[in-house]
Structure 1
Amino acid sequence: MDRQQILDLYEWQLGVCFRHPGKGEVPTAVVGAIHPRENGEREVRACEGCVLNMEDIRREEAARSGSEYEPGCLGEVLR
């Protein structure tokens, strides 16, 4: 898959990237959730560059472990 095909697997909306908050609101996708004690669940959002970086890490880990890599699963609960 090329870069754009991977990005197309996610739903994008304006938000603040957890790694680049100084950029302000940019297109982001949900890549996880945190559960603060007092605020319930909060989404963790990432910009396009961070999503692609995290997908690269997942692909490399899958290759090392001999498992199958499936793009587009950041933010999903692993079972």
Structure 2
Amino acid sequence: MDREQILNLYAWAPGVCFRHPQLGEVPTTVVGVIHPRIDGEHEVRACADCVIAIEDMRREEAARSGSEYEPGRLGEVLR
């Protein structure tokens, strides 16, 4: 799959990327949820560049471990 095909697997909305907060609000997707003890539930959001970087890491890990790589599942993996 190419970059655009992978990105199209996700739902995008304005938000702040957890790796690039200095960029301010940009198109992001939810890649996880954290549950701090005191403050309820918070979505972890990532920009397109970070989604591709994380997907690349998942693809490499799948190749090393001999498991099947399926893009588009970041929110499921990190929850």
- Normalised-by-shorter TM-score class: over 0.9
**1:66 corresponds to which residue?**
66
Structure 2 spans left out of the alignment, 5+ residues: none
Give the number of aligned pairs.
78
Question: For 1:28 and 1:50, how far apart are their aligned partners in 2?
Answer: 9
- What are the Cα deviations for residues 8-50 of structure 1, in whole angstroms up to 9, with x where unaligned? 0000000000000000000000011111111111100000000
**2:50 corresponds to which residue?**
50
Task: State the 1:75 CA deviation.
Answer: 1.1
User: What SS does the aligned partner of 1:39 have?
Assistant: coil
Structure 1 spans left out of the alignment, 5+ residues: none
User: What SS does the aligned partner of 1:67 have?
Assistant: coil
Question: For 1:77 and 1:27, how far apart are their aligned partners in 2?
Answer: 21
Question: For 1:64 and 1:19, how far apart are their aligned partners in 2?
Answer: 25
Show structure 1 runs of 4+ deviating over 2 A: none
Identity %: 76
Cα separation, partners in 2 of 1:77 and 1:55, compared to 1, 3 Å: closer
Task: State the 1:77 CA deviation.
Answer: 4.8
TM-score when scaled to structure 2?
0.95
TM-score when scaled to structure 1?
0.95
Question: For 1:32 and 1:49, how far apart are their aligned partners in 2?
Answer: 16
